[in-house]
Amino acid sequence: MDWHIDDYKAEFLRIYNENIHRAGADKLLEWLTNKSDFFYAPASTKFHSNRMGGLCEHSVKAYYRFIQNLQNEYEESEEGWEGVLSPESAAIIALLHDLCKVNTYKVDYRNVKVNGEWVQKPYYTTEDELPYGHGEKSVYMISGFMRLSREEAMAINWHMGAYDLRVQGGSYALSDAFYKFPTALLFHIADVQTTYLDETVDK
């Protein structure tokens, strides 16, 4: 799949508009498009999809992985995965899980030598004006526009799994969350699969 930044944006909008119909969803999309850098931001400063549009690309790819994981896990169940999680919830979780990264990346420049000449090379730094955390911040931001179900909030809140700083600080809540909300675990796995199997790093 050799897609351009605009292709990921179009695909994000297609998945969003086909699946998410909740009150407030239109306002959230309007904010993402006009008041945020969501469609231009990178997914990280120097790790996965560290380029313009990387955040949108990561979110779309996480959606594909999540649907795949849901299909694999619930293929035996009578109504399939849609009997366990609604397509609307799947889209909300995957497309919006990293909203916390919106408006936090800044472009800076460093001097590097290319063929004996000093040139200015752009790189990303972060400046978080709303230091609320990671998954918990995404939940907070989305909730400003629309109501999340318990299952959606859990999956978004805990999407970092054991990489979450709360877990590293000693919290045991994560494993309780994964036992009680298995779709949260399936999404965490999708997030990791996307990051390491489907995305690239620009050096």
**Residues within the interface to Fe ion (CB under 5 A):** 98, 191
Contact residues for 105 (Cβ-Cβ < 8 A; gap 6+): 37, 41, 42, 45, 124, 125, 126
- Encoded tokens for 101: 């990264």
Query: Could you tell me the smallest distance in angstroms from the CB atom of residue 192 to Fe ion?
Result: 9
Measured CA angle at 177 (ends 42, 160), to 5 deg:
20
Query: Could you tell me the smallest distance in angstroms from the CB atom of residue 23 to Fe ion?
Result: 26
Return the bridge partners of 116, or none. Answer: none
CA 81/CA 115 separation, integer angstroms: 55
57 or 98, CB closer to Fe ion? 98
Amino acid at 14: R
107 or 165, CB closer to Fe ion? 165
28 or 62, CB closer to Fe ion? 62
CA 57/CA 158 separation, integer angstroms: 21
Query: Could you tell me the smallest distance in angstroms from the CB atom of residue 76 to Fe ion?
Result: 28
Q: Positive or negative CA dihedral for 167, 127, 143, 81?
A: negative
CA 68/CA 59 separation, integer angstroms: 14
28 or 60, CB closer to Fe ion? 60
Query: Could you tell me the smallest distance in angstroms from the CB atom of residue 191 to Fe ion?
Result: 4
151 or 198, CB closer to Fe ion? 198
CA 191/CA 55 separation, integer angstroms: 12
Query: Could you tell me the smallest distance in angstroms from the CB atom of residue 194 to Fe ion?
Result: 7
